[in-house]
Structure 1
């Protein structure tokens, strides 16, 4: 016959099991604090502390270079342009080290509301996230980047080289239209968007096919 254990005999054993489980949980918690876990996939490029050194909670212990698809470009936007830089705008990025023929596409993802002063001029830090499908193998941290953010666009726009548009004494804009002889006439125009490639939109004043003078020979 097998004797049935009495409850008073089981109580201390069950208490011992609970105590052992508690000790195991505490040991696992202590072990988890010995591991440094990166929130991203990447390669460790620097370790700031040696074994036995103390580190504050805010200190950067390990630097990790991301090998994933998220690459951000930080840039400073002048106060005069920050109102045009809307989150979600498309951006084109080139890197000095890779040449102007390598153009990467991205999106403006944030504009810091806090200002920063650089040589007496107000700037705001903005970040551009490069597109996931871009070939980013050759992009390295710390590279100098040139960022062009598209602030507005227009389809079927009429445009001329910006050098063709002049400003009168009263601030109005005009272009020079050649006449039948060697002379020209000033024609008032209303300008619109300006592109970064030296072109300016003409809203009114000239029509498609009109000839305008860019420069005059002295």
Structure 2
């Protein structure tokens, strides 16, 4: 009985051992299969890594030539009248009539508006009456002085004959001096009254607002019935502009360009109101004092504009292009050549899974005066010396390149 149990246990142990052996054999085969797959993947990556890049690139190129360049500076600004006059009021009062409106043409001396003059006329009459009184006082003082002089001569004659006392002569002399003083006072009163009349008459004249120039009314700030108070500041009633056939364009020139701009240079400008049309102008002056806004330094540049056609209006925004110079027969390169970088150079190393061709040669990016020149069918980086630019082309001042050399400006197409 005991022997049967031992035999059964031995059989169970044998079965378990066989199961473990079979499991280890299966695990070994799976491990070998996994390593084999990893090896195949590595071989595939190595093949791709070392396989040459046979992609053919068609480059867009430009052959260097010589030509003329027109150098320009661009700025924006607004049109202004050549001369602008603010017409104000020097007196206070009620506006009774306004005789002009916006856009009306006016001539020098033309009446623009009228004040109520009732009080001013009364003030003038009062001043004239005071003048008449002062003049009458002068006549009275002159008569008194004449009388006192006669008395003084009479008393002096009596004193010489010994029939009059010295006191009487002294009193006559004092009376004559008082008469002279009264006459001087009366004459001063006449001058004062005359000044009051002039003041009242001037204020009455200022009740008529007239144009100081020949021009056009740009703005009217009053209406009949308005009351004007001229206290601390003269109120502006009209804004007049001189002949708008001659105008000025004020632009803000960047500090990088202002050194090239000077009086007498020709310019053109455009306005939104007349799209597609260019107007001519000429630089008048460049202000020395800068304008600083948001840490940007600009200089106001004034250009003269001929507006004989009457198409331009004050306040229009304009973009001006000033011709700052010319370059004759210079070697030039298109600006787009400086902005181009081959795709491999853009990659700059490409990361872990980039093609080796993308990392060959290291970082191929260059400074801003770098161009790519075709050498043996491949673009080669070259640093050149540059001069002025007209926005499309840049002058080459060095001897790194010659006329006929080909620079790369882009990629036309890419074919596998």
Tell me which structure has the larger Cα radius of gyration: 2
Gaps of 5+ in 1: 1-25
Note if 1:186 corresponds to 2:358.
no
3-state DSSP class of the match of 1:97? Answer: helix
Name 1:10's counterpart in structure 2.
none
1:1-150 equivalences under 5 Å are 30=202, 34=208, 36-39=210-213, 41-50=214-223, 53-55=228-230, 60-99=236-275, 101-130=276-305, 132=306, 136-150=309-323
Structure 1, residues 181-205: CA drift from partner, whole Å, max 9, x if none? 2x12334422111113x32122233
Give unmatched runs, 5+ long, in structure 2. 1-197, 341-363
Kept in 1: contact 2:217–2:240 (CA 8 A): yes
After superposition, the CA RMSD in angstroms is 3.4
Deviation track 1:121-173 (CA, whole Å, cap 9, x = no partner) reads 2222221112x3x6642212221111112223212233222121369977472
Following superposition, the deviation at residue 96 of structure 1 comes to 1.8
Change (3 A) 1:45 1:69: closer
Q: Is the 8 A contact 2:258 2:299 kept in 1?
A: yes
Which residue of 1 is the match for residue 369 of structure 2? Answer: 173
The reply on whether 1:202 has 2:202 as its aligned counterpart is no
Alpha-carbon distance change, 59 to 74 in structure 1, aligned in 2, over 3 angstroms: farther
Higher-RCO chain (CA-CA 8 Å, sequence separation at least 6): 2
SS of 1:71's equivalent in the other structure is strand
CA–CA distance in structure 1, aligned partners of residues 314 and 331 of structure 2:
40
Kindly indicate which of the two structures has a greater share of residues assigned to helix.
2
User: TM-score, with normalisation over the residues of structure 2?
Assistant: 0.39
Whether the 8 Å contact between 1:115 and 1:123 is mirrored in structure 2 is yes
Partner SS, residue 148 of structure 1:
strand
Aligned residues: 188
Q: Is the 8 A contact 1:166 1:173 kept in 2?
A: no
Q: CA deviation at 1:214?
A: 0.9
